[in-house]
């Protein structure tokens, strides 16, 4: 007798897993200055984020495809176990290099949380319920956003930054348990073909691309990695055309709603990751506040995002998707423009208004794009369809944090070089303001120069982010409704029985 899926328990499990994935960004961002202070290596700071996003990026489509082949439950469980192992290792890191390596391991598991969670929601709910549940699921990001900065700030200020990683363990265990006893899938058991050639070509291409982004073009080796990336991408598409079970079925790229959603989430992902990690830098570096205070400044995002996600879930069955995504993008643009106009004298309450607007816009846009992608394909291809969407989001995040950290730090260093004497400029850098031992040895004028340098670098960055969001507004205009014919076929193609 076939067992039926317990929808409520599975949904709770997915919400917990989403909470783990969501809190990772906000809590680590709040703890970053203290990590740099304890472990050193500010020049490698972006890699604490990039290493995690890099492996998450590569594994997201792989998990999505494997979930289509072998089922959601087994691949989801494997992913969480790897994620928890990486979390424990991050907590015991003694150097910045160790932390970066262990964050990469964490990302290897996070790829499952990133893609399979949303795929399962698409499996067990029809379109109208899916929109509402997706709205509530997106609210988990908001809840994590509220709890993450505050808990992260308290842990950093009063316990240890290492506990921001240990915090993942109990939640991960509960999620695995609930899913293992509640999700029951039916799919044809036969020998599965795994696209190893496509996986290898794809991995090498993306790793080469990310290496180029993190290295100055004056390096002799950069052109070689660019050539490797291009050749591997060409090889990847050749393999995918001939593969019986391609990692990325190429016909996905002929579906307009998927293309629009993927491009938009790439741009929005790059914007939001930079804001999440660099507003705390402004609050702690420019205003001289603590980690807990910077968490409070980020809190409005965590309130408006879930509220607007829930509103989007209610609007999706009634309003054109184009309208909701465009509305969200315009609101994000207004918030980013406010940040671009900020200065050292900008009051904190204005920053909180800007972050509230960004959270609201992201809630409308990301929830709607997610439902559109979930609804574009049936069960057999929903895993890779959702994974491609999450891949583009992670790609945007990885490129965004790498490129914009380089931009802001380069601009800050340039400012110091131009405004300090040669003697001071030779031994003063931005990281000193985050370390109490070093900052106390600086003169008040040098401290002020460092604050102005940070503001100068981030100001340039926020302006570019505003332009990117403006492009996202134009992309949103091309959004289309999901095809109702796919929803009519849902009952015949879905592989999980639910009640």
In this structure, are 12 and 85 located in the same domain? yes
| Tokens, residue 168 | 């993942």
Q: Give me the pLDDT at residue 219, please.
A: 61
In this structure, are 55 and 125 located in the same domain? yes
Final residue belonging to a domain, choices 204, 223, 244: 244
In a domain, 427, yes or no: yes
Helix runs in 420-435, H state only: 422-425
Q: Give me the pLDDT at residue 498, please.
A: 40
Quick one: angle between helices 348-374 and 256-285, nearest 10?
160
Neighbours of 478 (CB within 10 A): 14
End-to-end CA separation in angstroms for the chain: 15
Domain count, the chain: 2
- Does 383 score more than 50 pLDDT? yes
In a domain, 51, yes or no: yes
Determine the average pLDDT of the residues in 251-265.
Answer: 87
Q: State phi, psi for 22 to the nearest 5 degrees.
A: -70, -45
In this structure, are 124 and 156 located in the same domain? yes
Lowest mean pLDDT among 240-244, 284-288, 324-328, 358-362: 284-288
List all residues 6 or more positions away from 158 whose beta carbon is below 8 Å from its beta carbon.
none
Q: State phi, psi for 26 to the nearest 5 degrees.
A: -70, -40
In this structure, are 121 and 219 located in the same domain? no
In this structure, are 412 and 442 located in the same domain? yes
| Tokens, residue 224 | 């070689």
More confident position, 2 or 382: 382
Q: Give me the pLDDT at residue 61, please.
A: 84
- Does 404 score more than 80 pLDDT? yes
Final residue belonging to a domain, choices 203, 224, 244: 244
pTM: 0.74
More confident position, 259 or 29: 259
pLDDT band at 196 (very low <50, low <70, confident <90, very high): confident
Q: What integer best gives the mean pLDDT of the chain?
A: 80
In this structure, are 231 and 376 located in the same domain? no
| Tokens, residue 320 | 């054109």
With pLDDT > 70 as the criterion, what percentage of the chain qualifies? 85
Neighbours of 180 (CB within 10 A): 13
In a domain, 279, yes or no: yes
Q: Which CATH number characterizes residue 350's domain?
A: 1.20.1250.20
pLDDT band at 214 (very low <50, low <70, confident <90, very high): low
- Does 371 score more than 80 pLDDT? yes
Q: Give me the pLDDT at residue 421, please.
A: 62
Final residue belonging to a domain, choices 227, 244, 261: 244
Q: Give me the pLDDT at residue 84, please.
A: 93
List all residues 6 or more positions away from 404 whose beta carbon is below 8 Å from its beta carbon.
270, 274, 278, 461, 464, 465
In this structure, are 237 and 320 located in the same domain? no
In a domain, 498, yes or no: no
DSSP type of residue 498:
B
- Does 11 score more than 80 pLDDT? yes
Q: Give me the pLDDT at residue 48, please.
A: 83
- Supply the range of the domain harboring residue 310: 7-194+245-493
In a domain, 499, yes or no: no
- Does 389 score more than 70 pLDDT? yes
Determine the average pLDDT of the residues in 480-492.
Answer: 50
List all residues 6 or more positions away from 80 whose beta carbon is below 8 Å from its beta carbon.
17, 20, 109, 112, 113, 172, 175, 176
- Does 286 score more than 70 pLDDT? yes
In this structure, are 235 and 321 located in the same domain? no
Q: Give me the pLDDT at residue 354, please.
A: 94
pLDDT band at 487 (very low <50, low <70, confident <90, very high): very low
In this structure, are 231 and 256 located in the same domain? no
Lowest mean pLDDT among 199-213, 276-290, 357-371: 276-290
Lowest mean pLDDT among 87-96, 230-239, 250-259, 290-299: 290-299
In this structure, are 224 and 187 located in the same domain? no
Q: Give me the pLDDT at residue 405, please.
A: 81
The Cβ-side half-sphere exposure at 22, using a 13 Å CA radius, reads 24
- Does 390 score more than 50 pLDDT? yes
In this structure, are 228 and 252 located in the same domain? no
Determine the average pLDDT of the residues in 289-294.
Answer: 72
In a domain, 2, yes or no: no
- Does 424 score more than 50 pLDDT? yes
CA nearest 378: which of 251, 489, 496, 484?
489
Determine the average pLDDT of the residues in 422-449.
Answer: 60
Q: Give me the pLDDT at residue 326, please.
A: 95
| Per-residue pLDDT tens digits for 120-174 | 887 888 777 777 787 787 777 667 766 777 777 788 788 888 888 888 898 899 9
3-class SS at 5?
strand
In this structure, are 334 and 285 located in the same domain? yes
Determine the average pLDDT of the residues in 189-194.
Answer: 67
- Residues 21 and 23: their CA atoms lie apart, in Å, by 6
In a domain, 284, yes or no: yes
With pLDDT > 90 as the criterion, what percentage of the chain qualifies? 20
- Residues 499 and 493: their CA atoms lie apart, in Å, by 17
In a domain, 1, yes or no: no
List all residues 6 or more positions away from 481 whose beta carbon is below 8 Å from its beta carbon.
257, 320, 321
């Amino acid at each position: 007798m076939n067992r039926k899926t317990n929808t409520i328990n599975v949904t709770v499990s997915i919400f917990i897993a989403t909470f783990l994935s969501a809190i990772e960004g906000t809590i680590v961002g709040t703890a970053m200055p203290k990590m740099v202070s304890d472990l050193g290596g500010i020049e490698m700071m972006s890699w604490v984020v990039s290493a995690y996003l890099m492996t998450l990026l590569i594994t997201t489509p792989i998990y999505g495809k494997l979930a289509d082949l072998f089922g959601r439950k087994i691949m989801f469980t494997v992913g969480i176990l790897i994620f928890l192992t990486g979390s424990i290792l991050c907590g015991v890191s003694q150097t910045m290099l160790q932390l970066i390596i262990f964050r990469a391991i964490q990302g290897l598991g996070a790829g499952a949380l990133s893609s399979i969670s949303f795929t399962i929601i698409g499996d067990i709910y029809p379109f109208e319920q899916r929109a509402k549940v997706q709205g509530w699921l997106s609210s988990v990001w908001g809840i994590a956003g509220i709890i993450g900065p505050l808990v992260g700030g308290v842990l950093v200020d009063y316990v240890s930054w290492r506990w921001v990683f240990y915090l993942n363990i109990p939640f991960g265990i509960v999620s695995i348990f609930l899913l293992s006893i509640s999700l029951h899938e039916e799919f044809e058991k036969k020998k599965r073909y795994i696209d190893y050639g496509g996986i290898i070509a794809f991995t090498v291409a993306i790793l080469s691309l990310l290496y180029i982004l993190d290295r100055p073009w004056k390096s002799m080796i950069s052109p070689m990695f660019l050539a490797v990336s291009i050749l591997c991408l060409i090889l990847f598409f050749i393999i995918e055309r001939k593969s019986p079970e391609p990692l990325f079925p190429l016909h996905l790229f002929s579906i307009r709603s998927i293309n629009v959603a993927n491009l938009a989430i790439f741009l929005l992902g790059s914007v939001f990751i930079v804001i999440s990690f660099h507003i705390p830098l402004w609050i702690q570096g420019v205003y001289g506040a603590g980690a807990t205070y910077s968490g409070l400044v980020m809190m409005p995002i965590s309130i408006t995002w879930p509220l607007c996600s829930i509103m989007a879930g209610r609007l999706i069955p009634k309003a054109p998707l184009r309208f909701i995504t465009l509305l969200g993008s315009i609101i994000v643009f207004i918030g980013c423009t406010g940040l671009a106009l900020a200065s050292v004298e900008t009051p904190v309450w204005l920053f909180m208004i800007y972050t509230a607007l960004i959270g609201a816009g992201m809630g409308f846009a990301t929830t709607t794009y997610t439902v559109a992608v979930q609804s574009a394909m049936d069960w057999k291809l929903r895993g890779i369809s959702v994974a491609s969407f999450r891949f583009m989001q992670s790609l945007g995040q990885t490129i965004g944090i790498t490129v914009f950290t380089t931009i802001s730090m380069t601009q800050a260093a340039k400012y110091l070089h131009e405004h300090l004497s040669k003697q001071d400029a030779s031994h003063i850098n931005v990281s000193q303001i985050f370390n109490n031992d070093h900052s106390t040895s600086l003169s008040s004028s040098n401290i002020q120069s460092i604050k102005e340098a940070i503001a100068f670098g981030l100001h340039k960055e926020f302006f570019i982010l505003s332009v990117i969001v403006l492009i996202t507004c134009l992309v949103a205009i091309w959004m289309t409704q999901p095809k109702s014919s796919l929803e009519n076929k849902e009952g015949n193609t879905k592989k999980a029985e639910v009640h």
